[in-house]
């Protein structure tokens, strides 16, 4: 695991000073505290900070081919590197280490850009081909590892995090107001956009080619291209178990101890029991976070799995005293991000790093097999829309808005309010994203200043979701929704959160569900195998029968969240009042102070739950004060 940077100048003449490269790469020390490496060629520099996990003694980057014409740095792990290396050795390539990253230089030399399709792993890489004077950068299929870039008058700059690019004076700090609208709508910003107008995310499953001052970005893999097969239930069940088990085994690759995040849910439990089946669980440490509030706490289920598998279990409870973390985590994220589970993700990573350098996670299971409430809501909405006119949805929303929300995590009242609000306030064209957005068009008209509204006049904040839904062909509606979530919610929310919060503690995370073969297997199965008669993750649960206890396998999904709505009425209320004070809101000029004050009053009086909007506004103000100060 590493942090990487790259500099490529258009003329390829100047010898780039070492200090310039060091200044960029040392902003990423947290991603790679063990060592630093770089290569500087005329007009080109690549550098990395390393967290040593594979080939501790010989895995120093950059790596090159035999004659040095190809240089590469990379962040991540290539799980099938031994297989690829064997093929390359048969073709005459010579290797000088046991590192998985060395394979990249030789695989590119042998197969060209098509080498990306041969890789199974999580990675962000930057490769310089001196023969064609080309820079190639790429990200893994799911987007587990990040990569950002900016083109300036002095050339192309690359970095694992935005902060590496902002260390360069020539990179513009101009804020993208459309990105602010995206953030306040979804709580995150969708690739390729970032909060900065002139800094871009390389999307998952894409590569960038830079040659002669020109950038091309292309996709090299797409789950939408996987043909759906006619599976028998038995064959599908066996394939899921076997493929996931093989993914878990392959991701145990390390020369250091590994651990496991245990949430108490199906996906992390599946990874745990498959580690046990591989004979490794007793040597594994597991880590969990809980909460004092009963409806949010899943520690008992995590303990049950830890005891079953015999892991060395460690757990702690998240308190509402997270104010001290707030500024630190906003800084690590580099751009506004308001998924509140960032706090427990950071804290569980912190615990894990006291014991291990690597953990496996259950990320991806929901997006592959249909685990979210929103899929059920969309199925119900399809029936509702056919029976009830839009006016009835608005009327039901008006009636339910008179019923105060409860302090529970979900509960019947909260779920009913959320369902009807999504029907009434979000366009049907975004399908299940009606329940994955947090600021309606009507709310924006009240909240946004005239200047921000005018800046949004020609934009469509829902377009990325509509494009993703449209890109998946065929008539399998659930697979279309899963594809959109794989492309957007997983890549730009879940994996961003996990990468930044774990790497803030110098911890590597790995997700067996996001193995290339696992993703392709899941998308080869029709939606009716994933949600059947209201049972979510149907085929995954069948595959895990006899391995995961029935009480965990069939309990309702809760999600990894925190009681932010309650904390904003209590311990975090002073921080909210400070960040959203009238003078600060007025000075920023983005939202109306009177509307913010109304949202705060209604929330603190428990008349409404405005936690999503208020926390997002707090993050935005803290980001301006911390990152753009």
Do 212 and 291 lie in a common domain? no
Determine the pLDDT at residue 409: 54
| Dihedral Cα 242, 246, 249, 251, nearest 10 deg | -130
Of 221, 241, 265, the position where a domain reaches its end is 221
449 falls within a domain = no
Determine the pLDDT at residue 156: 98
Q: How confident is the model at residue 295 (pLDDT cuts 50, 70, 90)?
A: low
Do 266 and 215 lie in a common domain? no
Q: How confident is the model at residue 352 (pLDDT cuts 50, 70, 90)?
A: very high
Helices (H), 126-232: 162-166, 177-186
Determine the pLDDT at residue 386: 55
Among left, alpha and beta (phi > 0; psi -120 to 50; other), residue 510 is: beta
**Dihedral sign from CA coordinates of 254, 255, 260, 266:** positive
Do 169 and 84 lie in a common domain? yes
* Cα–Cα distance for residue pair 615/628, rounded to 1 Å: 19
- Average confidence (pLDDT) over 386-409: 52
Q: How confident is the model at residue 415 (pLDDT cuts 50, 70, 90)?
A: low
433 falls within a domain = no
Residue 203 CA from chain centroid, whole number? 11
Give percent above pLDDT 90 in the chain.
79
Q: How confident is the model at residue 389 (pLDDT cuts 50, 70, 90)?
A: low
Q: Using an 8 Å Cβ cutoff, are 416 and 400 in contact?
A: yes
CATH of the domain at 296: 3.40.50.620
**How many domains in the chain?**
3
In the predicted model, is pLDDT for residue 423 greater than 60? yes
Concatenate the DSSP letters of all residues of 294-343 into one string.
GGG--HHHHHHHHHHHT-EEEEEEE-S--HHHHHHHHHHH-S----TTHH
Do 313 and 349 lie in a common domain? yes
Q: Using an 8 Å Cβ cutoff, are 121 and 100 in contact?
A: yes
Q: Using an 8 Å Cβ cutoff, are 334 and 503 in contact?
A: no
Of 221, 238, 260, the position where a domain reaches its end is 221
Do 197 and 65 lie in a common domain? yes
- Residue pLDDT, tens place only, 243-289: 999 999 999 999 899 999 999 899 999 999 999 998 876 788 999 98
* Cα–Cα distance for residue pair 119/105, rounded to 1 Å: 12
- Average confidence (pLDDT) over 99-109: 97
Of 221, 238, 272, the position where a domain reaches its end is 221
Indicate the range of 86-90, 394-398, 484-488 predicted with least confidence.
394-398
Determine the pLDDT at residue 298: 79
Determine the pLDDT at residue 402: 47
Q: How confident is the model at residue 554 (pLDDT cuts 50, 70, 90)?
A: confident
395 falls within a domain = no
Do 19 and 93 lie in a common domain? yes
Indicate the range of 143-157, 391-405, 541-555 predicted with least confidence.
391-405
| Mean confidence (pLDDT) of the chain | 91
Looking at 488-609, which runs of residues are DSSP E strands?
A: 508-510
In the predicted model, is pLDDT for residue 562 greater than 80? no
Measured from the Cβ of residue 577, the count of other Cβ atoms closer than 10 Å reads: 11
Boundaries of domain holding 610 = 563-629
Do 280 and 346 lie in a common domain? yes
Do 203 and 296 lie in a common domain? no
* Cα–Cα distance for residue pair 441/437, rounded to 1 Å: 11
Sequence-ordered list of residues with C-beta below 8 angstroms from that of 481, at least 6 positions apart, any chain: 374, 375, 378, 431, 432, 469
In the predicted model, is pLDDT for residue 622 greater than 60? yes
In the predicted model, is pLDDT for residue 199 greater than 50? yes
CATH of the domain at 76: 3.60.20.10
- Average confidence (pLDDT) over 68-85: 97
Among left, alpha and beta (phi > 0; psi -120 to 50; other), residue 172 is: beta
412 falls within a domain = no
How far CA 181 is from CA of 45, 65, 454, 497, 567, in Å, comes to: 36, 45, 12, 19, 25
Helices (H), 174-322: 177-186, 233-250, 266-277, 299-309
| Dihedral Cα 532, 534, 536, 540, nearest 10 deg | -30
81 falls within a domain = yes
Determine the pLDDT at residue 399: 46
542 falls within a domain = yes
In the predicted model, is pLDDT for residue 232 greater than 60? yes
Residue 62: asked if its preceding bond is cis (omega within 30°), the reply is yes
Residue 613: asked if its preceding bond is cis (omega within 30°), the reply is no
In the predicted model, is pLDDT for residue 403 greater than 80? no
Determine the pLDDT at residue 390: 55
Do 87 and 236 lie in a common domain? no
Determine the pLDDT at residue 400: 45
297 falls within a domain = yes
Determine the pLDDT at residue 398: 47
In the predicted model, is pLDDT for residue 517 greater than 70? yes
Do 274 and 206 lie in a common domain? no
* Cα–Cα distance for residue pair 491/503, rounded to 1 Å: 16
Determine the pLDDT at residue 149: 98
- Average confidence (pLDDT) over 170-180: 97
479 falls within a domain = no
Do 57 and 139 lie in a common domain? yes
Q: Is 2 a catalytic residue?
A: yes
* Identified catalytic residue from 1, 2, 165, 245: 2
**508-510/2-8 β-pairing:** unpaired
- Residue pLDDT, tens place only, 211-223: 999 999 999 999 9
Do 519 and 608 lie in a common domain? no
- Average confidence (pLDDT) over 489-508: 97
Give percent above pLDDT 70 in the chain.
91
């Amino acid at each position: 695991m590493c942090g990487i940077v790259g500099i490529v100048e258009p003329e390829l003449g100047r010898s780039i000073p070492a200090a310039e490269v060091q200044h960029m790469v040392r902003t990423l020390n947290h991603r790679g505290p063990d060592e630093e490496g770089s290569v500087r060629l005329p007009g080109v520099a690549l550098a990395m900070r390393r967290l040593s996990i594979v080939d501790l003694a010989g895995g120093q980057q950059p790596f090159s081919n035999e004659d040095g014409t190809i240089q590469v740095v990379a962040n991540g792990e290539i799980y099938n590197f031994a297989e690829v290396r064997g093929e390359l050795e048969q073709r005459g390539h010579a290797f000088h280490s046991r590192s998985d990253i060395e394979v990249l230089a030789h695989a590119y030399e042998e197969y060209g850009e098509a080498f990306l399709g041969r890789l199974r792993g999580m990675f962000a890489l930057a490769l310089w081909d001196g023969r064609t004077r080309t820079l190639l950068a790429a990200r893994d299929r799911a987007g587990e590892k990040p990569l950002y870039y900016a083109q300036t008058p002095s050339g192309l700059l690359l970095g694992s995090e935005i902060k590496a690019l902002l260390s360069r004076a020539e990179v513009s700090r101009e804020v993208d107001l459309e990105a602010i609208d995206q953030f306040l709508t979804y709580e995150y910003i969708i690739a390729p956009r970032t909060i900065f107008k002139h800094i871009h995310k390389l999307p998952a499953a894409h590569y960038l080619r830079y040659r002669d001052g020109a950038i091309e970005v292309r996709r090299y893999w797409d789950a939408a291209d996987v043909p759906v097969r006619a599976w028998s239930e038995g064959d599908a069940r066996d394939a899921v178990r076997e493929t996931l088990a093989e993914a878990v085994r392959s991701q145990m690759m390390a020369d250091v101890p590994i651990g496991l995040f245990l949430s108490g849910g199906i996906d992390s439990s599946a990874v745990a029991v498959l580690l046990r089946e591989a004979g490794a669980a007793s040597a594994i440490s597991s880590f969990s976070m809980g909460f004092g509030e009963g409806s949010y706490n899943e520690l008992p289920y995590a303990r049950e799995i830890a005891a079953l598998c015999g892991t060395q279990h460690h757990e702690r409870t998240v308190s509402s005293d997270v104010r001290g973390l707030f500024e630190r985590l906003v800084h690590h994220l580099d751009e506004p991000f308001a998924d509140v589970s960032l706090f427990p993700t950071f804290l569980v990573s912190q615990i894990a790093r006291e014991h291990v350098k690597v953990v496996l996670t259950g990320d991806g299971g929901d997006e592959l097999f249909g685990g979210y409430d929103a899929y059920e809501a969309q199925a119900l909405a399809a029936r509702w829309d056919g029976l009830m006119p839009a006016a009835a949805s608005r009327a039901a929303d008006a009636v339910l808005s008179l019923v105060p929300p409860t302090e529970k995590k979900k509960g019947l009242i909260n779920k009913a309010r959320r369902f009807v609000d999504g029907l009434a306030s979000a366009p049907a064209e975004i399908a299940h994203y009606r329940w994955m957005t947090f600021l309606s068009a009507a709310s924006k008209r009240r909240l946004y200043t005239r200047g921000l509204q005018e800046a949004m006049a020609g934009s469509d904040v829902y377009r990325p979701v509509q494009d993703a839904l449209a890109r998946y062909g065929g008539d399998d509606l659930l697979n279309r929704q899963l594809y959109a979530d794989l492309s957007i919610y997983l890549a730009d929310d879940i994996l961003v959160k996990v990468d930044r919060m774990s790497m803030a503690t110098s911890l590597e995370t790995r997700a067996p569900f996001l193995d290339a073969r696992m993703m392709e297997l899941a998308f080869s199965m029709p939606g009716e195998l994933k949600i059947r008669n209201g049972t979510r993750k149907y085929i995954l649960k069948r595959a895990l029968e006899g391995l995961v206890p029935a009480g965990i396998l069939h309990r309702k999904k809760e999600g990894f969240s925190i009681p932010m709505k309650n904390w904003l009425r209590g311990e975090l209320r002073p921080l909210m009042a400070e960040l959203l004070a009238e003078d600060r809101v007025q000075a920023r000029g983005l939202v109306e102070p009177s509307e913010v004050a109304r949202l705060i009053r209604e929330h603190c009086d428990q008349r409404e739950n405005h936690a999503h909007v208020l926390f997002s506004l707090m993050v935005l103000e803290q980001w301006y004060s911390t990152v753009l100060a």
